[in-house]
Chains A and B, each alone.
Chain A
Amino acid sequence: MLRPTIGCEVHCELKTATKLFCGCKNEFGGEPNTHCCPICSGFPGTMPALNAKAVEYAVRAGLALGCNINRFSKWDRKNYFYPDLPKAWQTSQYDLPLCVGGAVEFEVNGEKKRVRLNRIHLEEDAGKLIHDGGESCVDYNRCGVPLIEIVTEPDMHSAEEVVAFLTELKSVLKYTGVSDVKMQEGSLRCDVNLSMAEDGAPLGTRTETKNLNSFRAVARSVAFEIRRQTEVLESGGIVEQETRRFDDNKGVGYAMRSKEDAHDYRYFPEPDIMPVTFTEADIQRIRSEIPELKGPRVKRYTEKLGLPPYDAQVLTADKAVSDLLDDVIALGCDAKKTSNFIMSEVLRLAKTDGSEDVELLIDAPRLAEIISMQAKGEINNLAAKQLLSAVWGTDASPRKRAEELNLLQSNDEGAIKAVFDKVLSDNPSQVADFLSGNDKLRGYFVGQVMRAAGGKANPKIVNELLDRLVKEHKK
């Protein structure tokens, strides 16, 4: 039976303040060619000045992924013509990348899986083409943004494995703090190399599908390419080695025709950049600057905070979520309550429209305020949920919003008693039923009181009133 073999090249933009070779801002978006200078626009006579932070970030990512750091590393020119590449070469690394080896480990369907890394190198991003009718507009804002390319060994065999690999890789990269890894903004992009062969036979001819920028597109393009190659092979054809694209809207892949001499990049050493060397001490220092990664956090959450292992996994899947949990707890909130609230409410808001990117539009102090208001009984669970939605993506104060939205619940026993008494007199048969021992009606009364009180009555007090009613009836 034909079995797919898959390897990935993952491009991840580093979140340095400036570009790789010039002082222009490394910032997503902006009007075309406004984060540009003669250097990143490829003007004659300009020369690159290598960004120290980018080198450090690339090494940090490598260390977090278990790579070996080359003690001597240099840059090379990868020559090809394309309008998004103003120098007509991409400054990259050919034979002496910063990092070699390493691995990503994760679980698929409960089974442990390990994907080996071949290398990580530091290179520059290209610009963007905006197609407009019969023309393309060229924008170099992204040109020169530092990028690490992570190359795996061909260790994967299904779309599911590729997505699980990318999910874990993305998580690790975010933990290291070297990238925002926002797939929607293109700061994480994936090229997939795929070939088919009979089990045990040598690898088949591979194709490379470039520039996939969502997990969904990766999964769909892998499925598409497996199907396509299988059909080709089973009908006696041969798979062409080619570069392909995947149209996520149409759900189909197609061969690119623009990179006809893509296989002769004429690499040679970049004469304008001096090599980089590392001592043991340099590497130790960079290692010491890696923030607490996922593994140690899961351990801390289960052992110190007593959270269930599943919860610990969910809460650490994204560094920003885990950071939020830690910060809210540090502000004095209960760990369990906080983790439950984040898992049930915050993540619901943070992961809309099926995106892989978690977007937290609330900060720790305000989330802590909502959770402590709930803990103190100032708002009930439903109100806490409403309040979170109300302040999400704004900088409003939760307490003020709660007042404005009339969410603060009443702890005024007298007022609640009046409503309670009215409910009792409106429902004589249910009262009789309840007093004859049907405790299931307790919820009914709480609900009725809440409704009558506009959701603001503290259910604790309603329950106490019911207890008292039963006690008095028994007398």
Chain B
Amino acid sequence: MKRSVDAEEVARLAKLSRLEFDGKQAEDMRGHLSKMLDYFDALDSVDVSDVPPTAHILSAVNVLREDVVEPSTSNAELLKNAPESRDGAYVVPRVVE
């Protein structure tokens, strides 16, 4: 399938990705995405309708953990990398639902 990417598509993906591109960057991104879609045309060269998708490349199943409590990490240790925190919590601008 031949697909190309237009400016609107770049804007949609940027929003979904929480990224912003100004005019020139958006155009470069559009060009790049179009080239990638050309690469992806190779996917159309094989018929895999009867091949199952790889759910996992390993065959192991049931890798589970016992329900046993382990010590948590100290609050100070967890928050020391936080850009903004107060009273043991991460702080963000008020979230409006």
Direct contact of A and B (CB under 8 A): yes
Partner of A50, one of B56, B64, B75, B91: B64
The answer to the question of A395 belonging to the interface, with a C-beta cut-off of 8 Å to chain B, is no
Partner of A136, one of B58, B64, B94: B94
Question: For residues 42 through 97 of chain B, which have their beta carbon under 8 Å from a beta carbon of chain A?
Answer: 55-56, 58, 60-73, 75, 78-79, 86-97
The answer to the question of B15 belonging to the interface, with a C-beta cut-off of 8 Å to chain A, is yes
The answer to the question of A466 belonging to the interface, with a C-beta cut-off of 8 Å to chain B, is no
The answer to the question of A31 belonging to the interface, with a C-beta cut-off of 8 Å to chain B, is yes
> When the two chains form their complex, are residues A137 and B91 in contact, meaning their CB atoms are under 8 A apart?
yes
Q: Known contacts A51-B67, A245-B97; is A83 also within 8 Å of B92 by CB? A: yes
A269 to B56, CA, bound (A): 8
A48 to B40, CA, bound (A): 32
The answer to the question of B18 belonging to the interface, with a C-beta cut-off of 8 Å to chain A, is yes
Chain B hits for A77, CB < 8 A: none
Q: Known contacts A36-B73, A36-B78, A271-B56; is A135 also within 8 Å of B65 by CB? A: no
A464 to B26, CA, bound (A): 99
Chain B proximity of A335: nearest CB distance (Å):
37
- Choose the segment among A16-24, A222-230, A304-312 that binds chain B (4+ C-beta atoms closer than 8 Å): A16-24
Chain A proximity of B30: nearest CB distance (Å):
20
Partner of B69, one of A25, A129, A257: A25
Chain A hits for B92, CB < 8 A: 83, 135-136, 138
> When the two chains form their complex, are residues A83 and B90 in contact, meaning their CB atoms are under 8 A apart?
yes
> When the two chains form their complex, are residues B93 and A136 in contact, meaning their CB atoms are under 8 A apart?
yes
The answer to the question of A394 belonging to the interface, with a C-beta cut-off of 8 Å to chain B, is no
Chain B hits for A38, CB < 8 A: 73, 78
A84: nearest chain-B partner, CB-CB: B95
> When the two chains form their complex, are residues A135 and B94 in contact, meaning their CB atoms are under 8 A apart?
yes
- Choose the segment among A59-67, A274-282, A378-386, A413-421 that binds chain B (4+ C-beta atoms closer than 8 Å): A274-282
> When the two chains form their complex, are residues A18 and B60 in contact, meaning their CB atoms are under 8 A apart?
no
> When the two chains form their complex, are residues B68 and A18 in contact, meaning their CB atoms are under 8 A apart?
yes
> When the two chains form their complex, are residues A274 and B75 in contact, meaning their CB atoms are under 8 A apart?
no
A17 to B68, CA, bound (A): 7
Chain A hits for B75, CB < 8 A: 31-34, 36
Chain A hits for B93, CB < 8 A: 134-136
A264: nearest chain-B partner, CB-CB: B16
**Among all A-B residue pairs, the 10 with the closest Cβ atoms:** A23-B70, A53-B67, A137-B89, A52-B64, A138-B90, A32-B89, A49-B65, A274-B63, A32-B88, A37-B73
Can you list 21 A-B contacts with CB-CB less than 8 angstroms, sorted by A residue number? A17-B67, A18-B67, A18-B70, A24-B69, A25-B69, A33-B79, A33-B90, A34-B72, A37-B72, A38-B73, A50-B64, A51-B67, A53-B67, A54-B67, A131-B94, A133-B94, A137-B91, A138-B90, A261-B15, A276-B61, A277-B62
